[in-house]
Amino acid sequence: MAKHFSYVILGGGVAAGYAAREFANQGIKPGDLAIISKESVAPYERPALSKGYLFPQNAARLPGFHTCVGSGGERLSPEWYSDKGIELILSTEIVKADLASKTLTSSAGATFTYETLLIATGSSVIKLTDFGVQGAEANNILYLRDIDDADKLVAAMQAKKDGKAVVVGGGYIGLELSAALKINNFDVTMVYPEPWCMPRLFTAGLAAFYEGYYANKGINIVKGTVAVGFDADANGDVTAVKLKNGNVLEADIVIVGVGGRPLTGLFKGQVEEEKGGIKTDAFFATSVPGVYAIGDVAAFPLKLYNEMRRVEHVDHARKSAEQAVKAIKAKESGESVSEYDYLPYFYSRSFDISWQFYGDNVGENVLFGDNDPTAATPKFGTYWVKDGKVVGVFLEGGSAEENQAIAKVARAQPPVADVEALKKEGLDFAAKI
């Protein structure tokens, strides 16, 4: 017998937690809503896994970082869900979704039916074994997407105390995990093929700071090459990383952060797709009536830039969830909500440094401030100028007010007549807007 719910959220991550809170705010009856998640715990703030979760002292642990604490909201513990009559169906992987009959089937054969479905399956990590990289199945070659992965990493750090770690990939995960491993007293080497780290966002000028800062912390950086194979000992534990440039790096732990893929496979051929995700309108409704997609999987109209985008960041996961639930509830009562009008916002923290970025990183880039990696309190940033307007701003070391100011600039897109003057004015330009 299928279990029936008015609303089912498929996936139990960031978007699911924020959607549940919004359903509760809007008013639902006990038994109306279920969250079905592969994970064994209630929704939590995923970014904590590469930050506080890995601290050597006072590490973050559940229930401390259940949603919605990451945005300063209420912490939704498992008891919160039961008090609201929201069913948390955990450790349950959905292996079949039939949108025509509104039925989901789990790997254990349980079936669930719904009137409204919110797809919030997020992303999976790309693994080196996906490409058949030699030796990539060795022990202690690790990835980080969920709490089980984080626990494996913590166990490996304990087992290989003060050892050697190689981090493959120079993006968010690579940078944050290199810092975490260093703080845990590992000898860390980062390897990535690009000319500088975080190339999808960072300019050469921004990256020069972070690479210099990491080098000063004792992290070795090997650029312009990739891992092509691994050696392991008799126990199957990784011992070395073989690089394409012929060098070999000793390793007790390898962390791979080479990107993710939106988890849309269950819906292939049943729903319109775009940008590798599920196409939605400005209310996160998909091409199938009664089916919504939120968070990493949604390809939605980004009003500010008048184009479809998919955004794999926590702020959008939270806001898209709230927008979808508001739209669902408004529709039921014959009302409407405004279109989603998102300002892209990304951030990262490692060691004592932290940056924020708002807007779009297109056009000419203008570095301002002092990006000297040895500065005691670094503060610098970059404006992106397109068609004579500032469209994006990055700031390292900003105060709350300064970060608010750069967000305002990215939203307002003020005109810039003289790029040289903008460079000289630096952060003062943002403070005036």
Q: Return residues touching ligand FAD (CB under 6 A).
A: 11-16, 36-39, 46-47, 49-50, 93-94, 120-123, 144-146, 172-173, 263, 266, 295-296, 312-315, 317, 346-348
In the complex, least distance from residue 234 CB atom to ligand FAD, rounded to whole angstroms: 32
Cis peptide before 197 (omega within 30 of 0): no
CB nearer to ligand FAD: give 146 or 237: 146
Please list the residues that pair with 139 across neighbouring strands: 237
Q: Which is nearer to ligand FAD, 243 or 293 (CB)?
A: 293
Compare residues 266 and 390 and give the one whose CB is closer to ligand FAD.
266
Q: How far is the CB of 86 from ligand FAD (least distance, A)?
A: 15
Smallest gap from Cβ 278 to ligand FAD, in A, equals 11
Other Cβ atoms within 10 Å of 406 Cβ, number? 26
CA distance 180 to 420: 38
Q: How far apart are CA 19 and CA 76, in angstroms?
A: 12
Please provide the distance, in angstroms rounded to a whole number, between the alpha carbons at the two ends of the chain: 60
In whole angstroms, the minimum distance from the beta carbon of 257 to ligand FAD comes to 8
> Other C-beta atoms within 10 Å of 228: how many?
16
CB nearer ligand FAD, residue 37 or residue 361: 37
Q: How far is the CB of 413 from ligand FAD (least distance, A)?
A: 22
CB of 240 to ligand FAD, least distance (A): 25
Phi then psi dihedrals of residue 158, to 5 deg: -70, -40
Query: Of the candidates 197, 255, 192, which has an alpha carbon nearest to the alpha carbon of residue 225?
Result: 192
Instruction: Choose between 135 and 171: whose C-beta lies nearer to ligand FAD.
Output: 171
Question: CA 234, CA 273: separation in Å to the nearest integer?
Answer: 46
Q: Which residue has the tokens 């008015």?
A: 6
Give residue 188's identity as a one-letter amino acid code.
V
- Stretch (H or E) spanning 322: helix 314-332
> Between residues 164 and 316, which has the closer beta carbon with respect to ligand FAD?
316
**Spatial distance between the Cα atoms of 359 and 342, rounded to a whole number of angstroms:** 9
Q: Which is nearer to ligand FAD, 42 or 227 (CB)?
A: 42
Lookup: tokens for 164: 């050697």
Least CB distance from residue 145 to ligand FAD, whole Å? 5
Q: Are 178 and 219 in contact (CB under 8 A)?
A: yes
Q: Residue 129 corresponds to which amino acid?
A: T
Kindly tell me which of 237 and 348 has the beta carbon lying closer to ligand FAD: 348
CB of 134 to ligand FAD, least distance (A): 26
CB 421 to ligand FAD: min, Å: 32
| CA 81 to the chain's CA centroid | 24
| C-beta closer to ligand FAD: residue 211 or 312 | 312
| C-alpha distance from residue 62 to each of 53, 68, 98, 147, 251 (Å) | 9, 13, 34, 10, 30
Tell me which residue has its CB nearest to ligand FAD. 13
